[in-house]
Amino acid sequence: MNSEKNEREPLFSFKNRKLLLNPLNKDNPITIQVLGICSALAVTAKLEPAFVMALSVIVVLTISNVIISLLRNGIPPRIRIIVQLVVIASLVILVDQFLKAFVFDISKQLSVFVGLIITNCIIMGRLEAFAMGNKPWPAFLDGMGNAIGYGWILIVVAFFRELLGSGTIWGYPVLDKLGLYDLGYKNNGFMILPPMALIIVGIIIWIQRARNKDLIEEK
Amino acid sequence: MKALRNFLDKIKPQFEKGEKFGIFGSTFEAFESFLFVSDKVTSKGSHIRDNIDMKRTMSVVVIALVPALLFGMWNVGYQHFLSLGEQADFWATFWFGFLKVFPIIVVCYVVGLGIEFAFAQMRGHEVNEGFLVTGMIIPLILPPETPLWMVAVATAFAVIIGKEVFGGTGMNILNPALTARAFLFFAYPSNMSGDKVWIAEKADAFSGATPLGDALVGNIDKIPSPLEMIIGNIPGSIGETSVIAILIGAFILLYTGVGSWRIMFSVITGGLVMGWIFNLCAVNEYMQIPAWEHLIMGGFAFGAIFMATDPVTASQTNKGKFIYGFFIGLLAVLIRVVNPAYPEGMMLAILFMNVFAPLIDHYVIEANIKKRLKRAKKLINI
């Protein structure tokens, strides 16, 4: 009894905190592992859909990580991918239906990309790499951390793309109120196009590596 | 000259590492080597150096660009007065164009060189002369009505994302000047295409469409005569209209050996071949225009002479240059005739082949290695 108590580590031990915080910066799924790029390109033209997308991924990834972690000892290794997919797909359908019921407009903007969360490599990657071999609580933290790490990049990219591409922040015409258009300013149409998302992600990677020297590969 | 040299020698010690202005070392170096030949010697490897260093190469290209620039200035004024229906003497015409074009050049150089100097300081390497040419080409491929802040944004984008990210001059994959133009083309399409932007302060009733714009919407009969397109008194980007001025530049580049004749030759061949293919299976009037007319329309000549030949972004091998150039010409004509969204294909064709240039080089070299191995094996067998 006593020994078992000693083995129990605190909920937010150093290791667990690292599970949550590492993916936010130096193990970020988008900028370091370069996963989930396609949705980062597709949904970041405006802030609102990007935010909803980030929330959806947080929900799906966290819950599916916990579920797979609970099931991990009962899943036959040969069919594990199918089991993982079934779990993710059910959760994505739930999220999709929820969005359709409560925020129909955004659901329409996101269109197929909600469904495509199923194929988001970050989710499959975390289930395969982490949830299959860890207890539910670490799996919960890991899922949460990776999803937030994914989400904040999405929101930063969407912020700049919306501000420079449409002149608005969350639909509010900031630049118009500032009177920039009267001075001859024009919205940058390139920002709306997907390649610009890649370039902004690239700039984030650049800044991140310049600040964090141990991310730079040795030559 | 001597006084300048003495002055530089006097202040030089202050810019040594660790001295008062040590952090501006590369800025000083840039100015010194711009004014005089640098006294730096290589510390290892080959010590034999030709006089034709990067500064000389770039200066030749800038000189080659001058005819197109001067003609462009005159043409900007000429088109303006033509659209108003006024008569103006030569100098008034030129002066109007000068006032339109000169600010664009200044903005380009200030923004571009400012960023180059900042990066050189930060990274502690010397400032490269590469931007001298880029800063001159960017104004020449823009419409005269481009707002100056757009020029500044595009130049900054081209220098940072197109060049410095990859490590500065000599390391870039894409041609920086075309990166700037492509940025403007996708970011502010209403300022880069259509029939409103090619003539400075034009009268509303006057059609300002370029030959390519006319051709794309089917107004083949409105295309100016070949003679006009060769002389270049037609609407268009500042430096691209006059084939004669561009050919003077081409002559300078070829005579000094700075520009590659292989690339120029194969771009033209590629354009002609694609034009002939369109002639053979013409289904509309645009496809029927003579193949050689594609060479003098739009930016084809300018791109072939000044932009495709950029030594950094082109193929390095001689065989590769032929392939690279041929596809530029082919794609440029293909895009401009077939794709209704892009009236001019030269920009996209060159950028596209820039991306492929390293791949072409790779296979040319592989093929050469294989050939020589085969020969060597034969010798051994005998």
Looking at CA atoms only, how far is residue A167 from chain B in angstroms? Answer: 13
Residue A3 reports pLDDT greater than 60: no
Using a 10 angstrom Cβ sphere, with 0-12 exposed, 13-18 middle and 19 or more buried, the burial of residue B47 is exposed
Residue B266 reports pLDDT greater than 80: yes
Q: How far apart are CA B197 and CA B45, in angstroms?
A: 52
Q: Count other C-beta atoms under 10 Å from residue A129's C-beta.
A: 11
Task: Kindly identify which residue of chain A lies nearest to residue B161, measuring between CA atoms.
Answer: A199
**Residues B216, B282: one domain?**
yes
| Closest CA relative to residue B324, chosen from B364, B279, B283 | B364
Looking at the whole model, is its pTM more than 0.90?
Answer: no
Looking at CA atoms only, how far is residue B188 from chain A in angstroms? Answer: 6
B376 contacts chain A (CB < 8 A): no
**Residues B109, B245: one domain?**
yes
B219 contacts chain A (CB < 8 A): no
In this complex, do A190 and B183 lie within 8 Å of one another by their Cβ atoms? yes
Instruction: Establish if B238 belongs to a structural domain.
Output: yes
Q: How far is CA B160 from CA A199, B25, B176, B375, in A?
A: 11, 22, 9, 46
**Residues B264, B354: one domain?**
yes
Instruction: Establish if B382 belongs to a structural domain.
Output: no
Q: Give the tens place of pLDDT for each residue, B303-346.
A: 999 999 988 889 999 999 999 999 999 999 999 888 877 878 89
Task: State how many domains chain B has.
Answer: 2
In this complex, do A190 and B147 lie within 8 Å of one another by their Cβ atoms? no
Mutate to test the interface with B, among A186, A196, A203 (most CBs of B within 10 A): A186
pLDDT at B23: 63
**Residues B175, B283: one domain?**
yes
Report the DSSP beta bridge partners of residue A169: A172
pLDDT at B190: 83
Once rounded to an integer, what is the mean pLDDT over residues B232-238? 85
**Residues B196, B226: one domain?**
yes
Q: Give the tens place of pLDDT for each residue, B3-36.
A: 777 777 777 777 766 666 666 666 676 666 666 6
Instruction: Establish if B249 belongs to a structural domain.
Output: yes
- Token code pair at residue A46: 């405006």
**Residues B84, B233: one domain?**
yes
Backbone angles phi, psi at B204, to 5 degrees: -60, -35
**Residues B192, B141: one domain?**
yes
Instruction: Establish if B377 belongs to a structural domain.
Output: no
What is the CA B102 to chain-centroid distance, rounded?
A: 18
Q: Give the tens place of pLDDT for each residue, A166-206.
A: 888 888 888 878 877 777 788 888 888 888 888 999 899 88
Q: In this complex, how many residue pairs, one in chain A and one in chain B, have their CB atoms less than 8 Å apart?
A: 23
Residue B49 reports pLDDT greater than 90: no
What is chain B's mean pLDDT, rounded? Answer: 84
Q: Give the tens place of pLDDT for each residue, A102-150.
A: 988 888 888 788 888 888 888 888 888 888 888 899 999 999 999 999 9
**Residues B133, B188: one domain?**
yes
Q: How far is CA A138 from CA A109, A123, A126, A146, in A?
A: 34, 15, 12, 12
Instruction: Establish if B380 belongs to a structural domain.
Output: no
Backbone angles phi, psi at A193, to 5 degrees: -80, 145
Once rounded to an integer, what is the mean pLDDT over residues A15-35? 82
Domain ranges of chain A: 35-212
ipTM of the complex: 0.82
A202 contacts chain B (CB < 8 A): yes
| Cα angle value B229/B231/B232 (rounded, 5°) | 60
Q: Count other C-beta atoms under 10 Å from residue B292's C-beta.
A: 13
| Closest residue to B161, CB basis, from A185, A186, A199 | A199
**Which amino acid does the sequence have at B62?**
V
Task: Kindly identify which residue of chain A lies nearest to residue B189, measuring between CA atoms.
Answer: A189
Instruction: Establish if B71 belongs to a structural domain.
Output: yes
Quick one: pLDDT band at residue A8, thresholds 50, 70, 90? low
**Residues B26, B59: one domain?**
no
A104 contacts chain B (CB < 8 A): no
pLDDT at B40: 60
Q: Give the tens place of pLDDT for each residue, B269-308.
A: 999 999 999 888 877 777 788 888 888 888 899 999 999 9
Task: Kindly identify which residue of chain A lies nearest to residue B146, measuring between CA atoms.
Answer: A184
**Residues B24, B72: one domain?**
no
**Residues B261, B325: one domain?**
yes
Instruction: Establish if B48 belongs to a structural domain.
Output: no
Residue A19 reports pLDDT greater than 80: yes
Mutate to test the interface with A, among B123, B185, B188 (most CBs of A within 10 A): B188
> Which residues in chain A are contacts of B189 at CB distance < 8 A?
189
Residue A36 reports pLDDT greater than 50: yes
Domain range for residue B26? 2-35
> Which residues in chain B are contacts of A190 at CB distance < 8 A?
183, 186-187
Q: What percent of chain A has pLDDT over 90?
A: 29
Instruction: Establish if B329 belongs to a structural domain.
Output: yes
**Residues B9, B154: one domain?**
no
B44 contacts chain A (CB < 8 A): no
Residue B59 reports pLDDT greater than 90: no
| Closest CA relative to residue B336, chosen from B292, B290, B299 | B299
